[in-house]
Amino acid sequence: MLDNNTRSANAAANTVNGAMNNASADVKTLVKDAQTLLTAAAALTGEKAEELRGRGMEMLDVAMGKASQVQGQAMVKGKELAQSADVYVKDNPWRTIAAAASVGLLLGVILGRK
């Protein structure tokens, strides 16, 4: 049975992962489209080339904006996760010590075998 802190930490982690995956896909698509436009614009001259270059630069600006937006959201969610973890550790110190000792023991056994 999960307590409220663990549930909220899991929900925040899932939200961050989903947002980062979506933003990553969006940024990759925008950059790829901008590269295509800029490549096509390199072969052209005149007004059409300037129009394509402008659209490509706008797409890159949008991609950079989305990337910084997601970075900001990740920072906020990361701070929320850290705060949730801090509250959980303060509310359950012995559980936390037992979990840390278990992980340490498990790592010691795994590394000791090699």
Q: What is the pLDDT of residues 33-89, one digit of tens each?
A: 777 777 776 677 778 777 877 887 788 788 888 888 888 888 888 899 899 989 988
With 50 as the cut, is the pLDDT of residue 17 above it?
yes
pLDDT for 109 equals 93
With 70 as the cut, is the pLDDT of residue 100 above it?
yes
With 80 as the cut, is the pLDDT of residue 26 above it?
no
Residue bearing tokens 């996760």: 81
13 secondary structure, DSSP code? H
Backbone angles phi and psi of 45, in degrees to 5: -135, 165
pLDDT for 29 equals 80
With 0.85 as the threshold, say if the pTM is over it: no
Q: Give the residue from 24, 37, 36 showing the smallest Cα distance to 63.
A: 24
